[in-house]
Structures are given as structure tokens and as C-alpha cells.
Structure 1
């Protein structure tokens, strides 16, 4: 029986904004073949501007804040509540809106 050889992991290309020439960095993504689940780390980040009228462009997996405080959210299940989020932590919540009214935390980032 012949041994199976795993397929090579896909190579990703990223432009490095710290490099004046915008040279590309190549790296291997060993997890590209995995199906992400809700327990998987976030693949995307988006700055959140709290709004009483607009939803987030994507439902979050978690929220992170730069300055601790209250964050009023609507979950993807339709619940509205105010939660306290400590700076620098990933607060797991599937939020579809971050309200301006009732939110005191700043530097909010949605992770999805």
C-alpha cells in the first residue's frame, strides 16, 4: 500500500503596509482546508461605529473594545441588552447592532 501524501497547504499573499515598496509576503495557511465553526478564531475584523439605526455589515462572533465600558447590542436572536466589555478581551456575542445610545466603550471592533 502506498502512503498518502497530504496536499500542500495553500499559499497566501499579503501586502505589508509597513514596507515602503509594498512588497508581498507569502505564507502558508495550514488551516485553509478546515471548515470554520463558531468556536474558530475570527478571520475578519471590522471597526464598529455605534448606531441607533444601522446594523453591522456582518453578524459578529465577538466584540473587542479599546476602552472598557458598556455596549448596548442587539443579538442575531433579536435580544437587546447592555453588556460590560473589558478592554482587550474578545467578548463572545453574535451581535447584529451596536447601539450609540447606551454605549460608553470606545474603539469597538467586531470579529467575525
Structure 2
């Protein structure tokens, strides 16, 4: 992550229909959580993205190039992630 946004961590109940107000390039890590809980994830280059979900557990998703999905995630893993140019939004 390029910059932490403290208020995002406690603001997990934001209306999912509201526009995104924070976008950052994700650096996948097997040990570090994101600086905020995401509302969406975008893969600029196709591949898989493995994440920890806000509600618990983890999932590996297949993304097409340029695809954006609504996902409440707390971590983007390096292992299990092949997509690149990953952006996380809140």
C-alpha cells in the first residue's frame, strides 16, 4: 500500500452503492493486511487474486484484464495471486 488511511478500517459499513473515495495499488503480501478494508478490487492484467475476506476465510478469484469486483477484503496474498496491476478501492 502506498499510504494508510486510518478512518477506513473503522468505516467498514459504508454504503456499498456510494462512489469509491480511495484507490491504492496493492502490494500482495502473505503476512501484511491492507491498510483498509476494500469495497472493490481491480486487476489490470488477467489472473488469479487470493484474498482474505472481511467476514472470514480466504478465496482465490479469477479476474479478466480490467475487471473490477465488489469484494470486502483485508489482505491480498502474494502466493496464489498471478494477476498484476491490482488496485484496491474503498
If the length of structure 1 is used for normalisation, what is the TM-score? Answer: 0.66
1:89 Cα deviation after fit: 2.1
Gaps of 5+ in 2: 1-13
Which structure shows the higher strand fraction? 2
Q: 1:71 aligns with which of 49, 55, 59?
A: 49
Partner of 2:64: 86
Gaps of 5+ in 1: 1-35
- The alignment yields a C-alpha RMSD, in angstroms, of 1.0
Which structure shows the higher helix fraction? 2
Of structures 1 and 2, the larger Rg is shown by 1
Deviating runs (4+, > 6 A) in structure 1? none
Structure showing greater relative contact order (alpha-carbon pairs closer than 8 Å, 6 or more residues apart): 2
